[in-house]
C-alpha cells in the first residue's frame, strides 16, 4: 500500500474555522437546542486523503453538509478549494457521495450518469465517453441499461460513486462510501480511492470502517459529540503504543484453568479468552504456569480502532471488540 507523506504546507482543499452548528427543534413552549458541531477548526490538504471518524451522531454528516452548503453554519466559516461553496466554479470541481444515495427509480444507471454529467457541463460525445469511462470504472457497464429500481444496494452505491466522479472532481467528499457493499465491492471501492489519490484527487471520507481509514487515509480527524478531538497523521497512529485487544485460543477442556486470572474480560464459549494488550504477557505466563494448552494468540482490534476509542475517551470499550471481528 502506497502512502503519501503528510505535507502540511500544501494548499487547503477545505479550510474550516470556528465552525458551529446548532439545531433548534420543538415548538414555542418546548424549544430544544442541539449543538451538532462545536467550534470546529480543520484543514484538509490537497492531494491527500482525509478520514473523519466518529460514532453515530458525532456530527460527521452535519460537517459534510456544512462543507457542501446544504446546511448553513450557526457560526464560523468554510472555504472549499479556495472559494465559497455557493460558487458554481467551486462545485464544478467537487464530487459528493451521500450516505445511501437515493436516485429517481425511473431512470437507468446510464441516464443518471448522463444527467449528472450534463450538470457538470458535459455534452454530446464527450459526455457519452465520460459515462462509459465511469461505467467501466465502477463495473456497472452490464447493468447500465437497467432501471435503478432493479439495482441492489451495492449497485446503487457504485452508481453513487460514479455520479460523484463524473465531473472529474479535484475534491471527492464521501459519506460512508462502503455502506451496502459486499467484500468484493468493498475492495473495488478501496482500490478506486487509492487510484484517485494517486491521480491527485483530494479525498474526504466520512466513515465508520476503520480498516478503510487505515488503508486509504493520510490524516484522520476524530469527531466526538460535535467536537473535533484530534487531527493526526495516520502514520502517527500506526506508530503509537495504544494497546490493542488479543484473542488467546485455549483448549476448551482447559477452560477451568482460566478462573482467577487477571483478565478484564473473559470469553469462554469457544475455548478462548480476550485480553487487553496490557495484560497479554502476564496472562500468557499464568496460563503456561497452569499448564493450559495455548493454541494461538492474535490481535483482535486494529491500532486505528484502539486509537479512536482512546481518543473519544471510551475507556470502558478498550477491552471490547467493536465490529464483527470476534472469532
List of residues 6+ apart from 315 with CB closer than 8 A: none
In whole angstroms, what is the distance from residue 268 CA to residue 259 CA?
10
Tell me which of 11, 23, 57, 145 binds other proteins, using CB under 8 A.
Answer: 23
Minimum CB distance to other proteins, residue 5 (Å): 26
In whole angstroms, what is the distance from residue 226 CA to residue 243 CA?
26
Tell me which of 3, 35, 38, 107 binds other proteins, using CB under 8 A.
Answer: 107
Minimum CB distance to other proteins, residue 229 (Å): 23
Contacts with other proteins by CB under 8 A: the residue count is: 42
Backbone angles phi, psi at 253, to 5 degrees: -65, -20
Burial of 260 (0-12, 13-18, 19+ CB in 10 A): exposed
List of residues 6+ apart from 141 with CB closer than 8 A: 132, 135
Cα dihedral across residues 302, 308, 311, 315: positive or negative: negative
User: Taking a C-beta distance cutoff of 8 angstroms, is the pair 274, 266 a contact?
Assistant: yes
Binding mask 66-105 for other proteins (x = CB under 8 A): x-xxxxxx--xxxx----xxx-xx-xx-x-x-x--xxxxx
Extract the C-alpha cell encoding 20.
Answer: 458551529
Q: Which of residues 269-308 bind other proteins (CB under 8 A)?
A: none
Residue number with CB closer to other proteins (92 or 128): 92
Minimum CB distance to other proteins, residue 21 (Å): 10
246 lies in the binding site for other proteins (CB under 8 A): no
156 lies in the binding site for other proteins (CB under 8 A): no
User: Helix H segments across the chain?
Assistant: 60-68, 88-92, 109-119, 124-137, 153-165, 183-198, 210-216, 234-239, 280-289, 303-311
314 lies in the binding site for other proteins (CB under 8 A): no
125 lies in the binding site for other proteins (CB under 8 A): no
Tell me which of 118, 235, 264, 288 binds other proteins, using CB under 8 A.
Answer: 118
Q: Measured over all CA atoms, what is the biggest interatomic distance in the chain, rounded to whole angstroms?
A: 76
60 lies in the binding site for other proteins (CB under 8 A): no
User: Taking a C-beta distance cutoff of 8 angstroms, is the pair 296, 249 a contact?
Assistant: yes
167 lies in the binding site for other proteins (CB under 8 A): yes
20 lies in the binding site for other proteins (CB under 8 A): no
Minimum CB distance to other proteins, residue 296 (Å): 47
Residue number with CB closer to other proteins (71 or 227): 71
56 lies in the binding site for other proteins (CB under 8 A): no
What residues make contact with other proteins under the rule CB under 8 A? 15, 17, 23, 65-66, 68-73, 76-79, 84-86, 88-89, 91-92, 94, 96, 98, 101-107, 111, 115-116, 118-121, 123, 163, 167
Amino acid at each position: 500500500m502506497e502512502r503519501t507523506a503528510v505535507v502540511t504546507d500544501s494548499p487547503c482543499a477545505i479550510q474550516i474555522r470556528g465552525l458551529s452548528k446548532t439545531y433548534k427543534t420543538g415548538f414555542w413552549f418546548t424549544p430544544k437546542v442541539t449543538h451538532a458541531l462545536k467550534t470546529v477548526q480543520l484543514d484538509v490538504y490537497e492531494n491527500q486523503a482525509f478520514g473523519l471518524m466518529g460514532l453515530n451522531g458525532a456530527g460527521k454528516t452535519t460537517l459534510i453538509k456544512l462543507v457542501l452548503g446544504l446546511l448553513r453554519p450557526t457560526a464560523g466559516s468554510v472555504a472549499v478549494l479556495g472559494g465559497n461553496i455557493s460558487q458554481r466554479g467551486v462545485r464544478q470541481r467537487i464530487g459528493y457521495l451521500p450516505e445511501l444515495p437515493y436516485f429517481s427509480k425511473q431512470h437507468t444507471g446510464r441516464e443518471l450518469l448522463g444527467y449528472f454529467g450534463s450538470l457538470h457541463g458535459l455534452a454530446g460525445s464527450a459526455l457519452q465517453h465520460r459515462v462509459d469511462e465511469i461505467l467501466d470504472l465502477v463495473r456497472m457497464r452490464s447493468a447500465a441499461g437497467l432501471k435503478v429500481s432493479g439495482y441492489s444496494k451495492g449497485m446503487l452505491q457504485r452508481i453513487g460513486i460514479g455520479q460523484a466522479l463524473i465531473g472529474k472532481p479535484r475534491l471527492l467528499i464521501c459519506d460512508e462510501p462502503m455502506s451496502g457493499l459486499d467484500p468484493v465491492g468493498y475492495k473495488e471501492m478501496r482500490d478506486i480511492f487509492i487510484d484517485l489519490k494517486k491521480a491527485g484527487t483530494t479525498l474526504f471520507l466520512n466513515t465508520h470502517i476503520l480498516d478503510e481509514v487505515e488503508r486509504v487515509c493520510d490524516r484522520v480527524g476524530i469527531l466526538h459529540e460535535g467536537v473535533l478531538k484530534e487531527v493526526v497523521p495516520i502514520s502517527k497512529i500506526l506508530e503509537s503504543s495504544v494497546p490493542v485487544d488479543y484473542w488467546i485460543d485455549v483448549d476448551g477442556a482447559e477452560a477451568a484453568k482460566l478462573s482467577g486470572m487477571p483478565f478484564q474480560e473473559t470469553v469462554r464459549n469457544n475455548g478462548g479468552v480476550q485480553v487487553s494488550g496490557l495484560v497479554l504477557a502476564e496472562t500468557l505466563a499464568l496460563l503456561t504456569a497452569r499448564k493450559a494448552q495455548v493454541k494461538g494468540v492474535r490481535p483482535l482490534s486494529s491500532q486505528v480502532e484502539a486509537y479512536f476509542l482512546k481518543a473519544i475517551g471510551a475507556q470502558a470499550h478498550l477491552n471490547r471488540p467493536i465490529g464483527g471481528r470476534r472469532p
